[in-house]
């Protein structure tokens, strides 16, 4: 059996990377929602961070990244 040509292998790996990036993005969105639920339940980002054994900056950054992902592009029209 001949090995796959390198172009085919690259195309396959590009597809895999695209899928993995999409899955990671979806996971980050779900994680951010869980963090928001934790903030609602515990009252603050600091309390969520303490409960998870993380720094408050890590929790805050995860929430901000998710918020930026949902924000409209600066040059997008909102008609």
- pLDDT digit string, tens, across residues 20-53: 999 999 999 999 999 999 999 999 999 999 999 9
Is 55 a member of any domain? yes
Domain hosting residue 65, numbered range: 7-69
CB 34 within 8 A of CB 65: no
Distance, CA of 79 to CA of 77 (rounded, Å): 6
Distance, CA of 65 to CA of 61 (rounded, Å): 6
Tokens of 70: 């949902």
Overall domain count for the chain? 1
Least confident of 2-6, 11-15, 42-46: 2-6
Is 54 a member of any domain? yes
The percentage of the chain sitting over the pLDDT mark of 70, rounded to a whole number, equals 95
Looking at residue 71, its pLDDT comes to 81
Q: Which DSSP string corresponds to 22-75?
A: HHHHHHHHHHHHHHHHHHHHHSSHHHHHHHHT--HHHHHHHHHHHHHHHSPPTT
Is 1 a member of any domain? no
């Amino acid at each position: 059996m001949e090995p796959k040509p390198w172009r085919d292998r690259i195309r396959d790996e590009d597809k895999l990377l695209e899928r993995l990036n999409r899955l990671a993005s979806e996971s980050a969105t779900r994680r951010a929602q869980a963090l928001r639920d934790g903030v609602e339940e515990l009252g603050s980002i600091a309390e969520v961070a303490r409960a998870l054994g993380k720094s408050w900056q890590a929790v805050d950054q995860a929430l901000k990244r998710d918020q930026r992902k949902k924000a409209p592009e600066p040059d997008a029209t909102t008609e």
